[in-house]
Amino acid sequence: MIVCSDSRVPAEIVFDQGLGDLFVIRVAGNVVAPSQIGSVEFAAEWYGTRLVVVPGHSHCGAVLATIEELMQHSSHRALNLRAIVDRVRPAVEPLLATELRNEPEALMQQAARANIRASANQLRHGSEVLERLILEQQLLIVGAEYSLETGVVDFFDGVPVLA
C-alpha cells in the first residue's frame, strides 16, 4: 500500500487492520519513485503480497501544492518538496487546460484522482517484476480515494470487473 503521509489517513485505521496486517509505504502525495517501486517489489517477492492499494485522499496537500505552483507559475519550493510536486505535476497539469481551472473544488477532486491513477500506473508499468506478477495474475494494483469528510474509501482504478 502506498498511502499519503498525511496523518489524517492512517491506513491501519482506515482499512480496519491491526499492526503487522499491512505493508504500508507512506509518502506525501502517494507519489511513486524508484524507492517506492522497490518497496512494493520487496513486499510482493518476499512477503507474497498479492494486492497493492494506492489510496489517495480528499484535500491532499501535495496535490494542492502542485495546483498552486502550476497556477501561479512559480517554483519557490524547496528542492526536495519540488521532487514531490514534480511527480504530481504530470497528472494535474492537463486538468488546468480545461474548465476545471475555474472550479477549485472540482479541480482538487479530479486532480487527486488523476494523481492516484498516475501512481497506480507507475507501479503497474515501472517494474519488470511487478509487470510479470500482474501478467501471471499474482498481483493486483488498484487505486482508491479516501474521503476525509465521510470516511468512505472509493476503489475506482484497476478494480476487476466481475462477470
If you write DSSP's letter for every residue of 25-55 in order, what string do you get?
EE-GGG---HHHHHHHHHHHHHH---EEEEE
Does a structural domain hold residue 163? no
Q: Domain containing 132 — which CATH number?
A: 3.40.1050.10
Range of the domain at 35: 2-157
CA geometry: angle 90, 50, 115, nearest 5 deg: 15
Number of domains in the chain: 1
Digit-coded pLDDT (tens) for 26-82: 999 999 999 999 999 999 999 999 999 999 999 999 999 999 988 886 666 678 888
162 part of a folded domain? no
Q: What pTM value is reported for the model?
A: 0.92
Angle between helices 79-92 and 61-72 (to 10 degrees): 80
In a domain, 10, yes or no: yes
